[in-house]
Structure 1
Amino acid sequence: MTELSYVRTEMLPESEPPASTVGIVGWARENLFNGWFNSVLTIISLYAIYSILAAILPWMLHNTWSATSLNECRDIVAASGAEHGGACWGVIRERWLQMMFGFYPSELYWRPILAFILLLVALAPVLFDTMPRKMLWFSALFPFLMPWLLWGGSIWPPISALIGFVLGYVVFRALSAATSDLIGLIGGVVAAVVWWLYLSGGFSSIAHGIIPIGIESVESRQFGGFMLSITIGVVAIGCSFPIGIFLALGRRSDLLIVKSLCVGFIEFIRGVPLITLLFVASTLLNIFLPPGTEFDIILRVFIMVTLFASAYMAEVIRGGLAALPTGQYEAADALGLDYWKAQRLIIMPQALKISIPGIVSTFIGVFKDTTLVSIIALFDPLNLSNAIRADSAWNGIVWELYGFIAVVFFILCFSMSRYSMYLERKLQTGHQ
């Protein structure tokens, strides 16, 4: 009698997946042609892309890099037989350094280049936790090193500014240990402000008279191009983030005066265009200062752009704080943590994680808004393009300069966007 088994006792050999489900074909079927509607949209989109590229590429692909004027570019394009003209890339070859550094002295280009390299070094331990933590000391010192490299002059004013922060921290620690963190914070801020307003200048002058260390000075009016935009963007982003955190906490505070001041500041700044604030910084700010006071124009821009970005940053972070469940606050209270420890260890890390997309969007917006300084006669990349076109050799150049500016801004903004996505993936703890 033959015994039959209805349960298979051995595994079937593995088979290759169907060719239509893997590789480029499988990806296209899943994402581009997974239905008649998506297929029609894909075909229309491909035709639109083809039409745009067919119009742009013939205009772009002309060997005009060696041209020294617009007329020479036109002669080269005409010799190639192009019917509808072509791009004149000679202006980029000839003026790209000016687009990068403005009117900064060419023999001193090494200083902004070094400052940018050191900026990347300073940001590395802040952005990536795999970097050595000891590098954070350099990150803390870089804000005082960067202005000295860019503006030059005596080394003692940046050191004096650093001493103000150190003095404020010492006073904060001493008063916090004796009284409370709030009194310590107020005392530290007052001590630092008194040092900067009344003692810092005398200290710098005396120290420079004893040990005269410095480099050649560069006026702010010589700044320009992407160096100016990056400098304003970095300072505004770096300063607006902590200010925005304190404003967000102040707006949610139970203290009536603190809450009212924060709400008033945020709503006023958000209700005024940045252009208006820049005009105030350029023309009206000196009216409220003592006669003869010199207030650097770029420093005024730093202050106004930082305040503008801080108001928007505060609302983004406040949204993250509001999104946290009340259980997190109750857990902090149950652990016996005071207000500042609860914010530092439990509340704020989660709120910032929730707010990452909004924070980075604010950063990108602030960086792009740096082009508005052209209205107060600072030579950002857009204003520099107008100056370049004023040269008779390049009068009539438009799209090449704007295209170069757009590409550089896209690279910088896209890099911030990609880092935001990386950070969100890294901090993701739940299921998508």
Structure 2
Amino acid sequence: MSEPILYPLDIESLDLEGQGIAHHEGKVVFVAGALPGERVLARVTRRKPSFDKARLEQVLQPSAQRTTPLCPHFGVCGGCAMQHLEPAAQLATKQRALEDALIHIGRLSPRQILPALQGPSWGYRHRARLSVRLVHKKGGVLVGFRERGRSYVADIHECRVLPPHVSALLMPLRTLIASLSHPDRIPQIEVAVGDQATVLCLRHMEPLNEADLDHLRRFGADHHVIWWLQPKGPDTAHPLDPAQTDDLAYALPAYGLRMHYRPMDFTQVNPYINQALVARALMLLDVQPTDRVADLFCGLGNFSLPLATQAREVVGVEGSATLVARARQDAARQGLGERTAFTELNLFEVDADWLRGLGHFDRMLIDPPREGALAVAQALAALAPQERPRRVVYVSCNPATLARDASTLHHEGGWTLKAAGAVNMFPHTAHVESIAVFEP
């Protein structure tokens, strides 16, 4: 088979995966590693009826915003997609992606563009899932992220987006896993870094023997980490030392709170941006001491408990029974039990009658997963004007579903999109987090 032809391409924009977008002979071409404004030589690697995928071979005219990636594994490791783009330009790209989604999917624009939230570009990732593979051809056990566009584990020695003390564990973890009785039966390690503890949760598909446990204990003592073990599904995760069950927590110092969680619970990966995001959400909600506030998709209370320090009452609703229990426990622990109420419910199947049944809310915060909150948006759109909260703040991790839900609120219910802005929760990746404000 002949080598694919090299094409000169002019890169027009970036997609949400950080790929350069060009056109050639009437087709869209996605070029990994290329930046807007650049002229490049690229080799087509995959052809589809409506688009091609291409590999960047040479940059003929570089963008002024191109920068040298700090990580030596960039381009091989799939953990980051945008290290070659200057950080301020990354943020501008994400802001444009949000605005484009609102315009093209939602058919509306915010009245105000909020300043983008940003924090440290490196060492920010306090949550991660490290893949583990025994690969004899590469000298033994590999620990890290998958290669870009492939299922193989990248052969990395460091990771600049992980906290430095976690990055420094990548090579020692290789040695540790290789010393265990079944290194080929350990697929992953979950990393959770709290404000006072670092937890590693080991997924093991074969029972660990006493020698294995001794190896883990010594490693934990030497490297100041707490081990959890997960023999089967997420619900089976447990600490190697039961006395360390509640050691994992993160601080929200502006509200005098420490949020306790377990390594398998959902928490934001970036504690610096999370603190700023909570502060902005509460500022935009403009909560008053007499307000009754709803926090939908509340998780373990990341917004609920700070809200409870300012509002008369906060009602949190969440689909996970585990997280509901965690939120109740932490509210009681921090003296907010009487100002909070938490309920387990599938928020993808609610309607306006259910929402009315909860009673009137003065403010509402919505923080859904990537699937968005379509049923909630439809319920809000169906409420009569006097039944509606005075303000809704929507925190999103997917601009497409935010735009869809914003369209429902606006075009079906007459809600106004007052403001929206990007949140750089994941620097150097194409992930777009955002926040939006609606008023009836």
- Please report the TM-score for the alignment, with normalisation by the length of structure 1: 0.23
- Greater helix share, structure number: 1
What is the TM-score of this pair, normalised by structure 2?
Answer: 0.23
Question: Which structure has the highest strand share of the two?
Answer: 2
